[in-house]
A and B are shown apart, each in its own frame.
Chain A
C-alpha cells in the first residue's frame, strides 16, 4: 500500500516485540489501477459524512488521568478544561482533606454534551502521588491501574460472544504536573515519565505558571524540554507516530516550542473589560486563564480537546494497547493463559 514506507519507520521500536506479518493474498489479484477517467459523480465523498454523523450519534468515551504532587492545581485544571465540576474536587470541597498514606486511584465519570455530541468523560485522579517522605515506586499503582484497563479490554475482545461496543476505560491521556520551581525537573518527575511514557500518552504541564515571569517561564520550559530529551522521554505527541508530513510539521512545532504547556487553572469568574473571564484575582492584577498573554491554558485546551482528542484515543488503541496485548500473547508462548471465570457468559478463547 502507498503508505507503507512511512509506517515501517514507526515500527522500528516495536519490531523486537511484534513481528511483521507476511503478505497473504487470498486469490490471484489483478493489479490495482488508479481510475482517472470518471464520467460522472458517484458520491463516494458522502460516505465520510455518514461516518461523521454516526460519530456524533454514538458519542464517545474519553479518559484523562492527572498526576502530580498535591497542591499543584490538578483538580482545578481539569475542571477548567471541561468547564464543569468534573474532578474529584467538585465545588465546595474540603481543603483540609488529608493527604492519603499511599497513592490512591480515583476515577469519576460524567456525561457532558456539546453541539449534539455526547462525551462520557472519566477523570482519574491520583491523590498521594509524590507526597510521601519515601516516594520510591509510587508510580507503580498508577502503572498497575493503566495495565488493568488494557487487560479488561483485552478480556472482552477475546470473548467468544463479545459486546458490539467494548466499554473503553483505558487511559487516553495522562497530564503530568511539573512543579514550577524554575530550576529543573525533579528526580521523581523523570522516573515517573520514564516508566509511564511507554504505556500511556503523557502530556507534561507546568502547573501554577503564574509564579513565573515571562523570561523565567521561557527558560524553564527550555530546560525541561532539554532534560526530557536527554533522558529519552517520549511524551505525546510521540515523534515515531507522526503519520505524515502534515502531522509532523504540526506536531514538531508543538513539541519544540509550545510544550510543556505552562498553565494556570481557575473555576472562578471575574469581570475584565466588560467580559466575564475565568481567572485568579491578585492585588497586582487579574490573571486571565484563557488569555494567551497570561498563560498557555488555551493552548493546552485546544491541543487536547479541539485538535488531538481523536488522535490521543487512536494512539492509545493502536500503539499502547497493541503493545500490551502483544506482550500478553508473547509472554505465554503465543497463547494467553486460561482464565478462571465464574460467570457463564465469559467463555473466551484465552
Chain B
C-alpha cells in the first residue's frame, strides 16, 4: 500500500498525528532524564575536578584527601552521588559513581573486581525489577558510561589500563579521557593520543563509538560529529575557579606563564567532551540497554540460577513464594 502523504498543516487533508513528537516531548520534559556516569582512574588524575567542571557543580563538598600511608590499606570503594540539575525546565538526575582507591595499592591485582561486581549488581537489580510484579517505579541505576582516566604522564596505556578496559568493555560504554592536559604541549598530546589509539586497537579494546551523523542532519552537525570522532581520546583540563583573563572572567588555571582556559577549544578538549556527552547521552543509554544489558540478561537467563550470595534477592524470592501461598 502506498503511504498517504499530507504535507501542509492547513490543507484539508491534515490529520494531526505529526504532533506526536511534541506530545512525547512534553512528557519527557515532565519526567526528566536519568543518567549514571562512572569515573575510574588513579588518584590525582583530576577526575573530581573534571566532573565538577562538566556539570558546573560541586559534588564533593566535604572532601578529605587521604595521605599515602592511609592508602596502603585501602581497597577500592564505590561511592555514588546523585545531583539534580535543571536547565530551561529540563531536569537531569545525574549519578556519578566514583571509585576511590583504584590503582592506589602497591599490588593492584584485585583492583577491578569491586568495580565489575558493582556494574553487574546494577544489571542484576534491574533484571530482577524488570521481572517483578510491580514495575511502575523501576529505578535505573545501570552505569551508562564510564570515563576511564589515563595518566598524561606516561607514554600510553599502562598494563593496568589495558587489563581493566578489557575486563569491562563488554559491560559498559568506555570513554577514555586524558586529564590534566595542561602538562602536555600540543604536539605531545597528539603523540599520546595516537599512541593510545594504537594500543587500544592492538589489544582489541572496545571503546564507545560515536554513531555517524545521519544523512539528513545539517552540515554543521555532521562536521561537529566528524570533529568529535577525530579527537578521541579527549585531552581535558578541569577547573571551577574563575580567573580574569583578557578582560573577561573565565574558568581556568592560573600559571606564572599564562592562563589555561577550560572552555577554550584551542587550549584543550573540554568543550568537545561535554558536547559529546550531552549530545550522546541518549545513545549511551540505548547502547547500555540494547547491548550491554541484553548481553548480561541473556547470559544470566541461560545460566538460570540465582546467585546464592545475594541475600536480598533470596528474600524477594521467598516473599514472592509466600505471597503465592497466601493467594
Contact = CB atoms under 8 A, between A and B. Distances in A.
Contacts of B15: 81-83, 112, 114, 301, 305
Interface stretch (B16-24, B102-110, B168-176, B253-261): B16-24
A111 B17 CA distance: 12
Q: Which of B17, B23, B131 has the largest count of A CB atoms less than 10 A from its CB?
A: B17
Contacts of B324: 330, 333-334
Interface stretch (B66-74, B79-87, B152-160, B227-235): B79-87
Contact of B6 (A27, A39, A83): A83
Interface in B239-259: 240, 242, 251
A48 to B, nearest CB: 5
Contact of A52 (B9, B25, B82, B214): B25
B307 interface: no
B121 to A, nearest CB: 6
A84 B4 contact: yes
Interface residues of B, number: 81
B290 interface: yes
Interface in B2-47: 3-7, 9, 12-25, 27-30, 33
A278 B14 CA distance: 13
A130 B151 CA distance: 75
A34 B302 CA distance: 42
Interface stretch (A116-124, A170-178, A223-231): A116-124
A26 B121 contact: yes
A212 interface: no
Contact of B136 (A11, A29, A60, A334): A11
A43 B278 contact: yes
Given A48-B29, A116-B18, A305-B16, A32 B83 contact: yes
A162 B132 CA distance: 18
A322 B129 CA distance: 13
B187 interface: no
Interface string A35-47: 1011111111111
A309 interface: yes
Interface in A258-286: 269, 275-278
B308 interface: no
A115 B24 contact: no
Contacts, number: 222
A56 B21 contact: yes
Given A35-B57, A35-B84, A51 B118 contact: no
A161 interface: yes
A322 B135 contact: yes
Contact of B24 (A45, A55, A302): A55
Interface string A330-345: 1001100000000000
Q: Is the interface of B mostly helix, strand, loop or mixed?
A: mixed
Contacts of B92: 44, 47
Given A117-B17, A117-B20, A333-B321, A47 B33 contact: yes
A308 to B, nearest CB: 8
Nearest to B89: A45
A110 B118 contact: no
Nearest to B138: A21
A291 interface: no
Contact of B279 (A29, A46, A52, A62): A46
Which 8 A-B pairs rank lowest in CB-CB distance, beginning with the nearest? Answer: A115-B18, A310-B23, A333-B324, A306-B16, A45-B88, A334-B320, A45-B90, A114-B18
25 contacts: A26-B118, A26-B125, A27-B78, A28-B80, A35-B57, A38-B87, A42-B278, A43-B275, A44-B92, A50-B282, A52-B24, A55-B20, A84-B4, A110-B3, A112-B4, A114-B14, A114-B15, A115-B9, A117-B17, A117-B18, A158-B131, A160-B298, A318-B136, A322-B135, A334-B320
Given A18-B134, A33-B83, 13 more contacts: A27-B80, A44-B85, A44-B92, A47-B33, A48-B90, A54-B282, A110-B4, A113-B4, A114-B6, A114-B18, A276-B12, A305-B15, A310-B20
